[in-house]
Amino acid sequence: MDIDLPAPEAQQQRVVIIGAGFAGLRLARKLPARHFQVVLLDRFNYHQFQPLLYQVATSGVEPSSISFPLRKIFHHRKQVLIRIAEVESIEPNLKRVRTSIGDIPYDLLVLAQGATTHYFNMPDIAQHAFPMKSVPEALLLRNTLLQRIEKALTLEDPQSKQAELNIVVVGGGPTGVELAGTLAEMKKKILPRDFPEIDFSAMHIYLLEASPRLLGGMSQESGEKVRKYLGGLGVEVRTETAVTGYDGEKVSLKTGEVLNSRTLIWAAGVKGNQLKGLPAEAEAPASRIRVDEFNRVPGLPDVYALGDIAFMQSDDYPKGHPQVAPVAIQQADALSKNLVSEIKGQSPKGFRYRDKGSMATVGRNLAVAEMGKLRLGGLIAWLAWMAVHLMSIVGVKNKIFIFLNWTWQYITYDSSLRLIIKPAVKQDEKSPG
């Protein structure tokens, strides 16, 4: 059954966008009201700034500071209709999207549902490890990290206490590197003041990477520099070290070694959020959706894919573009222009990614940045990293709050966000029995 939506105006086409991440949000903001009615679908009622999820997980910033309500973003864009729903499937032959709140017909469909954690077909890790791809997952990790330390405070057995304190981060990309560095700074500067009864020298923070070096998407020089930074903070970095299993207590490595830890954080890979209704020719590696240079999905007229979910091969990117925010934003900009061009009877232009550089932070005054042939490290790279991320966050208030949080932490080596907040469970009003 179709959900009740205002009909598009006579000159408008209805564009249904699945996902309010960087790509979906950008496209919804760019499409002109004169030509398009936009229906934006997401399971959350906010846009989340994923690059800073690790700071929510480590009590660095409030979740509200990296989230922005979708309806507030589109206060003055009445042609953008927002619906909070789970997308169940698409029916291209009927030009219809099936959702948890009903069916939505479309003229044009844009798939921008992003990516989720990839466990590489290891069910035990999927069951016991902690992912970090959404605000709820980051909050769960924050609660767990703090609860583990609280429990360690009550244990007398050294081995059990160490298992509660030890943290294993799997994945040596930017997320893993940034998370491990922040945890190390907490261990060194913050936790001893909160828990003076605990000897944190017994706490181990491991960063495991299956490939030969860290930050595989950046230069070897940057990878080596980051490894040096992490080592200086006390992180035990191990490259060429693959995880083969985890039962919630012990991390099994391909080398045969076993690490005792009740907290394994999985940042080792992503895959596309799968969607029913796509033809076989649209399937690409890691559950992504194959697209041409105009972001069109093969075999599906009037269907496009953007961002992390889109797999566009080219001479420069034979394995597809990197799954990062700049790609998503640039693809959305290109598609919005092409859709307008087609209405005007003009030919669309193929997408060409303009790589403006990469960066990763490790901790206070420690970061790496690459912009073309320019390689930066240390304080300058750290300041550049902060500036880029502040400019990218949605909402002036959020920018101010995060800047104030960062400034306070820099001055005091502390934050006041180490709160264990569990969702309340409403009890049945009837007495049992």
Catalytic positions, written as ranges: 178
**CB of 28 closer than 8 Å to CB of 74:** yes
**CB of 112 closer than 8 Å to CB of 73:** no
- Where would I find the H helices in 65-122? 70-73
What per-residue string of b and e applies to 58-97 under the rule 16 or more CB within 10 Å gives b? Answer: bbbbbbebbbbbbeebbeeeebbbbbbbebeebebeebbb
CA–CA dist 95, 109 (Å, integer): 8
**CB of 261 closer than 8 Å to CB of 208:** no
Q: Which two tokens stand for residue 217?
A: 């998407």
Tokens 């070096």 correspond to: 213
H/E element, 13: strand 13-18
- Provide the 8-state DSSP code for 136: H
Q: What is the largest CA-CA distance in the chain?
A: 75
Torsion of CA 108, 111, 113, 116, to 10 degrees: 170
Torsion of CA 301, 109, 272, 384, to 10 degrees: 120
| Degrees to nearest 5, angle at CA 140 with 139 and 144 | 115
Gap between the terminal Cα atoms of the chain:
41
The closest of 67, 7, 66, 70 to 37, measured between CA atoms, is 7
Number of H helices, E strands in the chain: 12, 25
**CB of 230 closer than 8 Å to CB of 181:** yes
The closest of 406, 409, 365 to 384, measured between CA atoms, is 365
Residue type, 224: E
CA–CA dist 77, 194 (Å, integer): 47
Burial status of residue 239 (CB atoms within 10 A of its CB: 0-12, 13-18, 19 or more): middle
